[in-house]
Each structure stands twice: as C-alpha cells, then as structure tokens.
Chain A
C-alpha cells in the first residue's frame, strides 16, 4: 500500500503512522524531516518550499514502488510539505512498515535519500541577512 501526498497545510504525523499500520508488520520506521534553525552558522528564519506538483507526485510514487520492490515492505507513506515553514516545522514524513525491522530501516533510508536527489521540490532558506535557493549554486 502506497500513500503519498504534497500538502500546503501542516503534516499529520499520527495520520501518517495510522495509514502505515498493518497487522502483518512487526516493524515501523518513521522519518521526520524538520526545519533546522541554522545553516553553516547562519540563523535561518524560515524556509519556502515549492514543487512541480505533477512530476513530484510521479517521482515520489516511483520511490515508494521501488522500495516495495527492493525490500519486504508492506506499506509506505510519504507526505511532503510545500509553502512557508518555520523553525521546527515538519517538512517531510516517511513511514515504512515491514514484517521485520531490517527492511523497514533500509526502505525508509532509501526513500528519504532518493527523495532528496530526484523529486522536483525546492526550498529557499530565508536568513536574517539574505536568502538562498538550497543546492542551486556551487
């Protein structure tokens, strides 16, 4: 079972965990990505996320399908925020349920690492003294 979502309102962690529940699973790994208050010593005020919605959903679905194909995983939930996020806000939640914990850990790690590389979502860091699209320039 795959549950993916791009949301412009706060992510519901409890719902993500609930959607990944499966009686056949003995392990559930949860990753939450949150907004950090500093980047390389500069104080961050907020992040602004935007996405190419149709393609982002397609790429996230690909990740979920691959995770299920590569490991013995029953359910995967991937929800990502867009819009303006403050310090401490949750930007992404990934929940992976598997009969055994090893697959759940590996599948969850694969999902977040791949998401960061392939899914067309961008964030701009707003600092006290400027702003910058993350990773855009060398």
Chain B
C-alpha cells in the first residue's frame, strides 16, 4: 500500500521535501516503517531521537498504519 509521510524541521531539510510517498506492506507497524525510513534516509539516525505520529497522535512502535493514515516524522520538538 502507498502511504504519505509528512516531514518537518530538520527532517524536511534532509529529505529536501515536506512529504514523501512510500510503498509499504499492508498494516505495517510503526517500528517497521521507521526501519524502512531509516534505510532511505540514514541521516535520521543522527538525530537525538525522533517519533512517529499517526493521524495527529504520537504512535508507539507496535501500532499499525493503514493506507489512509496521515503519518508524520517528528524530530525533537523545540517550541516555546
């Protein structure tokens, strides 16, 4: 299935884009998605940490992602 991934901050910069379409297996877990993303963009591993949000909510590694989900890569936040 195809999913769209949103990128922000430093991730957007090293991706050179604010979004990316990835072709992944059905019901992929967040952990597996992170592994695929890291393979595509090894720069992400240089970050202090990062999280994944699914449909506007932080998602744990075991959660699954379905085809219509909005997925975002969340590098360390720095608001305020």
Q: Which residues of A contact B (CB under 8 A)?
A: 33, 49-52, 54-56, 58, 80, 91-92, 112, 115-124, 133-138
B40 at the interface (CB under 8 A from A): no
**Contact residue range for chain B?**
20 to 34
Task: Check if B80 sits within 8 Å of A33, measured CB to CB.
Answer: yes
Q: Which residues of B contact A (CB under 8 A)?
A: 6, 8-10, 13, 46-48, 53, 56-58, 72, 74-80
Q: Which DSSP category, helix, strand, loop or mixed, fits chain A's interface?
A: mixed
Q: Other CB < 8 Å A-B pairs besides A51-B79, A54-B56, A122-B9, 5 of them? A: A49-B79, A50-B8, A115-B80, A123-B79, A133-B9
Task: Check if A122 sits within 8 Å of B78, measured CB to CB.
Answer: yes
* Residues in chain A near residue B46, CB distance under 8 A: 137
Chain B proximity of A5: nearest CB distance (Å): 13
Q: With A and B bound together, what is the CA distance between A119 and B76 in angstroms? A: 10
* Residues in chain A near residue B53, CB distance under 8 A: 52, 55, 120
Interface centre among A50, A121, A135, A138 (most CB of B within 10 A): A135
